[in-house]
Structure formats: C-alpha cells, structure tokens
Amino acid sequence: MRITFQEELDALEAMLQEESELVLRSLRGALNALREQDSQLADEVIAFDEEVDAQYLSLEQGIESLLARQTPVAIDLRLVLAMLHVNLHLERMADLCVTISKLTKLAISLQPNVQIVQTLEEMGGRAEEMIRVAMRALAERDAGAAESLVDLDELVDRANRRLVRRVLELGASEDMREYGLRVIVISRCLERLADHVVDIGEQVVYLITGELREFSDASHPEVE
C-alpha cells in the first residue's frame, strides 16, 4: 500500500512540474504577443488557459483523493499541502498571463514605447527565470534556491517602479494616457506573477523544514 502511495505522490508532483511548464508557455506567449503586438497570439494565450485550468483541476482532484484514502503525515503531509498551494499559485499565474494578453489586445492600435516594452520584456524574462528556479528548488528540495527568489523578485519590483516613472513621462495626449494605463496594469500583472513565485518558494521551505514563514513582509514600505 505504501508503494502505491509513493507512486501517487510522485505522479502528483510530476503533474505539478508539467503545470509549471504550461505556465511558462503561457507567459512566453503573452510576452511575445505583447512585444510583437500580435493579436492572434494573444488570443491563443487566452484560449490556452483552459489547458492550465484542466491540469489544475486534475491535480486538485488527485490530491483530494489521496488525502481521503491515504491520510498522509509528516513529510508526505507537508508535500501534499505544499502541492495544493503551488497548484493554486500556478493557476493564478496563468490567469495573469491571460490578463496581460487581453490588455495587449486593448492596446494593439496604440503606438508602443520602446523603453517600456523593453522593461516589460525584462520583467517577464526575470519571472520566467524565477519560475524555473522555484520549480527546480521544489524538485530538488533546495531551500537555499527557494530563498534566493526574494532577491530575484526585488529586481522585478525595481523594474516595475522604473516603468511607473517612465509612464509618468509619456506625455498628456489621450493615446499616451491610455497606453500608460494599459502598460501599468501589465507591469502590475508581471509583478504579481513574480510574487506568486516567491510564495511557491515559501512552500518549498515549508516542505523541507516544516516551518511556515513569509520570506518578506507584503506591507514592505518600499513597495509601491
């Protein structure tokens, strides 16, 4: 019975890694659509969310069934609880990619600002790197790597603040104001996405140490 149980745990964890691959594809699609002003690609990202949702749901059901039948304890219990959280974070991250794609479509007729697009691309690239670090930390039970996400997140936060300053310099024309509004929300989505990755890192540390703790205070005074 315990052998089956271990196989089930392994299968669920593998599904979680697959889900993170789907989120990475979604994020890459959203970033490319944004850079290329590609409305069709943006639509594909929006439609792709169904696949992430399906993966989210089957993981949720798999965990529910495992809890009902196997009553995991200790490290197994912590893994199951961590997977529940990580699953939800990944699903939310994919939703943020959808929001970015919807905003991309809304801004499609507006003249993009090269520096702003570069900053968003930088934030997205850092978020992708963070997802890889977090999921590898989970797979390898590496608390140090999980904690390093805080520093990576700080770079995303800084880029977000830089972008806000840049938007304020865009000028007062109606198009620029609308463009500024759209990109600020996109930037906010990327910043939130990175925060979700930090939360995944917290779950990795909980899994390894049994200690539930936030890496950084959400009400940090520097955060805009």
Partner 1 sequence: MRVDVTAPVGERQEGKPSFNQAREVVFDIQELGVSYGATTALRGVNMEIDRNLVTAVIGPSGCGKSTFIRCLNRMNDLVSGVVVSGKLLYHGVDVYGSGVDPVEVRRQIGMVFQKPNPFPKSIRDNVSFALRMLGMKDDLDGRVERALRRAALWDEVKDRLGESALSLSGGQQQRLCIARALAVEPEVILLDEPASALDPISTAAIEDLMHELKRDYTLVIVTHNMQQAARVADKTAFFNLDVSNGERAGVLVEYDDTSKIFTSPSDQRTEDYVTGRFG
Give the shortest CB-70-to-partner 1 separation in angstroms: 9
Pick between residue 67 and residue 117 the one whose CB is nearest to partner 1: 67
Pick between residue 9 and residue 46 the one whose CB is nearest to partner 1: 9
Pick between residue 21 and residue 76 the one whose CB is nearest to partner 1: 76
Pick between residue 76 and residue 122 the one whose CB is nearest to partner 1: 76
Give the shortest CB-170-to-partner 1 separation in angstroms: 51
Give the shortest CB-149-to-partner 1 separation in angstroms: 22
Residues binding partner 1 (CB under 8 A): 1-2, 5, 71-78, 209-211
Can you say whether the dihedral through the CA atoms of 185, 52, 127, 148 is positive or negative?
Answer: positive
Pick between residue 5 and residue 215 the one whose CB is nearest to partner 1: 5
HEC string for the chain:
CHHHHHHHHHHHHHHHHHHHHHHHHHHHHHHHHHHHCCHHHHHHHHHHHHHHHHHHHHHHHHHHHHHHHHCCCHHHHHHHHHHHHHHHHHHHHHHHHHHHHHHHHHCCCCCCCHHHHHHHHHHHHHHHHHHHHHHHHHHHCCHHHHHCHHHHHHHHHHHHHHHHHHHHCCCCCHHHHHHHHHHHHHHHHHHHHHHHHHHHHHHHHHHHHCCCCCCCCCCCCCCC
Q: How far is CA 106 from CA 42, 96, 131, 158, 181, in A?
A: 11, 15, 27, 26, 11
The answer to whether 58 and 8 have CB atoms below 8 angstroms apart is: no
Give the shortest CB-212-to-partner 1 separation in angstroms: 10
Give the shortest CB-138-to-partner 1 separation in angstroms: 17
Give the shortest CB-88-to-partner 1 separation in angstroms: 20
Pick between residue 57 and residue 75 the one whose CB is nearest to partner 1: 75
